[in-house]
Chains A and B, each alone.
Chain A
Amino acid sequence: MKMKCRQFFEEFGVTRMIAVGFFLAIAIAVPVLHLNTLTLYSQALTRMAMNGVLVLTMVPIMVCGAGMNFALPIGIICGLIGGLISMNMNLQGFTGFFASILFSLPFSLVMGYLYGLLMNRVKGSEMMIATYVGFAVISAMCIVWLFVPIDNLVLRMQMGRGLRKDVVLTDFWAGILDDLCPVTIGGLTIPLGTFLFLFLMCFLVYLYMHSKTGIMMRAAGQNPGLAAANGINVDRMRIWGITLSTVLGAIGILVYAQSYGFMQFYESPKMMSFSAVAAVLLGGASNKRASIFNVIFGVMVFQGILTLSMPVANVLLPESNISDIVRMIISNGIILYALGKGSGKK
């Protein structure tokens, strides 16, 4: 019994246990401190669902051996372009949402392919370079957003030309998944539609990972030498994985936006890759292994901590400007903890 317990703990990993422990402590602190428990819990659930697909982008890219997707902004920008085109055509509701995904596809496929080509040239230092590629693409797109031709005046800046920084989605498809079939249990709202969409995406990725390409991708990621000796085209597999990751990134930001209610352009996507990376690491992924379970588990714990710790910190440290600092410390601290601890053995 003792041995079994020990084995379980070892497999689960100390890092994850500490994270889960912290999450539980905060979750318990919410009702104890007489905060608005149900609203906060609902918020946490919404955040888990809306971030899920963005975290899922980590699976194919990590499995194919190209490290974590630090250039997630590339995928995000493709999603934004898709959303922009659909909104410019004034498409609303489900049509608008799915048109956005559809319009983003050609962009994410091409960008993902190029991103893959680049990663194949910088083997060994993918993550460092991906981070800066992500930043560079964001800066370049800032110029594009300013000059992109827009017909729909809602999208345009009040003065002059160019795109708004934040576009309100209320008239388009805000909450299209969240409000699809929300389940309310005694005041606790679960955005079931978004969760279902996330699970659907996870299932598709699962199917892909268990197809021939998926299996060969896994082999190529784990041992490129062996893969090459067994007739697997390692570079092509990496491009597949990276492209898939980028496509998921585009879909991910659209899911995020419908829940958030805004579409944010310009510099906003800059730091999004870090929280996605932190979530998957906290979920137990290591450099070349990432599973659907890691994604779901990680996004729950990470977003849970992030959402609930803020109000708790606010009560414990009532000085308003301190709480903002605490917010920074907590969110960046979790990322740092996950990157430092999680990238080694789980």
Chain B
Amino acid sequence: MQNVLLEMKQIEKEFGQTKVLKGVDLRLDAGEVLSLVGENGAGKSTLMNILFGMQSIVSTGGYGGEILWEGQTVKISSPAQAMELGIGMVHQEFMLLPAYTVTENVKLNREITKSNLISRVLGPSMGTLDHKTMQQETKEALDKIHLNVKPDIQVGSMSVGFKQFVEIAREIDKKNIRLIVFDEPTAVLTDVESRWLMDTIKEITAAGVAVIFISHKLNEVIELSDRIVVLRDGELVQTLERGETDATGLARLMVGRNVDFSNIEGRPVEEIEKREVVMEIRDLKVSMPGEKAKSVTIDIHEGEILGFCGLAGQGKLAISNGIAGLYPSSGEVRYKGETLPFGNPLAVLKKKIGFVSEDRRGIGLLLDESIRMNICLLAMQIRNRFFRSFGFFKQVDTKSMKETADAMIQELGIKCTGDAQHPSALSGGNQQKVCIARAVVFSPDVLFVSEPTRGIDIGAKKVILDYLVRLNREKGTTIVMTSSELTELRTMCDRIAVIYDGKVKAILKPTDSDEKFGLLMSGIDA
């Protein structure tokens, strides 16, 4: 019997109506590396937030299940408590103060002080900083991870990779540290730095500290892990011991939903590719923060449904946002032989290219206007529809707006009290339907849809996807859909482009195998 450090039993968590964790078990021994793998939204981050007692969990009603720390049941209700137990976290987004030195960052809120006259009166928080000891201890921590920097330089001036290591140093420097969680640490690192990080992790574990490693890079996971926990849609798919599987097997577990895609009724790719090319995308670069497209080249054929899949941060969202003119872009996009200008949404819309943004609440809706206005706005702006002319000036034609809005409400089954209601009171799914209705009323020839089903219930999902397919089949609208949910892409797309590292990694058929998708999404050639 090994020394069990952490056990999580039947962990459950729901946000509102959606259950994001459905009874997950995991066990971790001291000095062991456990990897969590799964697609975006599989529940990895939520699980770690529970372990860390994050506010986002506590304020939404806590979690179900039990956490055992060294055999004792604990209820972690704040990050401070987690730290007291000896749990540390290396964050994906750096939690460092750029204007502070390495020492100050490492020792933040754990400063070593000497007592002085004032501190004797007002307590230790007024003590003098013991810079010498702090520097020395920081140096020791840095040495442990072979980071050769001076403890007194400012963090802001360091490279991304070094910052990551400073974060690790901070965790190691904590005397009682027992477990460190790495949340996608290699996502921002170069290959050499990743190598270095993996060696560091091995050394940390050799010293008896346990590690939970979250990563999309399956090769690293296979190399490091003593145990791999695969999550999918909030469920524990399988726990694998070292050597039980390879990257291909892992990819299959991660993506596969035991849905048989080999015989779905798609249209043959060969036929689609014979059709006329409506849009040629050449070397498209889009600087969208966190979702950079580096060089996307792809042809979009008339009347097809093209899917963009890929993991978060790989740049799949940037493509449609860049074409729609919302983020600075370069490269070339030709639509029906004409070059599309960048950064000019009006020009793109005038060419009958529609876009439904993934940022529904941000730029998708006018929350304080009627549903009617939300649905008709784009057609009014671009097509001058819904106006009545009175000689010199035009006035809004509420009657025809109402007719159109009511028709869309019927067709998409938008649950609302009427077309005059404000969308702020609608559920996410119904809000999404309003967004799609707006783009449809404008009757585009090509429609870009980003994450149409993110965060909405299954019923609304089905309505939206069915509607998009019908739009494609009946009106011949070319649809380009970007989604994190591979399953839905595979059920409706004719072709699916896998985006990795800001480029088109491959174009697959929906009938291709699970592991092919999984591997390509992780950047491994299949």
Contact = CB atoms under 8 A, between A and B. Distances in A.
Interface of A: 207, 210-212, 215-216, 218-219, 222-223, 225-226, 228-233, 288-289
Contacts of B355: 229
B389 to A, nearest CB: 11
B160 interface: no
B326 interface: yes
A233 B344 CA distance: 10
A219 B369 CA distance: 9
Nearest to A209: B396
Nearest to B347: A231
Nearest to A214: B396
Contact of B368 (A212, A230, A288): A288
A218 B366 CA distance: 10
Contact of B366 (A210, A223, A228, A231): A223
- For the complex of A and B, list the 6 residue pairs with the smallest distance between their C-beta atoms, beginning with the closest: A231-B346, A225-B363, A226-B363, A231-B349, A210-B396, A231-B345
B387 interface: yes
Given A218-B369, A230-B378, A232-B381, A207 B395 contact: yes
Interface string B363-387: 1111111000100011011101001
Given A222-B369, A231-B345, 6 more contacts: A212-B384, A212-B387, A215-B380, A219-B369, A222-B366, A231-B347
A211 B369 contact: no
30 contacts: A210-B395, A211-B387, A211-B395, A211-B396, A212-B387, A215-B373, A216-B381, A218-B366, A219-B366, A219-B369, A219-B377, A222-B366, A222-B368, A223-B365, A223-B367, A225-B362, A226-B363, A228-B326, A229-B326, A229-B345, A229-B357, A229-B363, A230-B345, A230-B378, A231-B349, A231-B350, A232-B346, A232-B381, A233-B346, A288-B368
Interface of B: 324, 326, 345-350, 355, 357, 359, 362-369, 373, 377-378, 380-382, 384, 387, 393-396
B420 to A, nearest CB: 14
A210 B363 CA distance: 22
Contacts of B369: 218-219, 222
A216 B377 CA distance: 8
A249 B200 CA distance: 69
B366 A212 contact: no
Nearest to A229: B363
A190 B355 CA distance: 55
A71 B380 CA distance: 32
Contacts of A216: 380-381
Tell me what chain A mostly uses at the interface: helix, strand, loop, or mixed.
Answer: helix
A229 B321 CA distance: 9
A223 B355 CA distance: 17
Contact of A211 (B324, B326, B362, B393): B393
Contact of B365 (A212, A226, A289): A226
A229 B324 contact: yes
B349 A223 contact: no
B345 A211 contact: no
A288 to B, nearest CB: 7
Nearest to A228: B345
Nearest to B354: A230
Contacts of A223: 363, 365-367
B349 A230 contact: yes
Contacts of B387: 211-212
A226 B364 contact: yes
A230 B377 contact: yes
Contacts of B326: 228-229
Contacts of A210: 395-396
A238 to B, nearest CB: 16
A233 B365 CA distance: 17
Nearest to B344: A231
A215 B381 CA distance: 9
A212 B380 contact: yes
Contacts of B377: 215, 219, 230
A164 to B, nearest CB: 41
A220 B387 CA distance: 19
Most buried by B among A218, A223, A225, A232: A223
B318 to A, nearest CB: 15
Most buried by A among B347, B357, B367, B378: B378
Contacts of A225: 359, 362-363
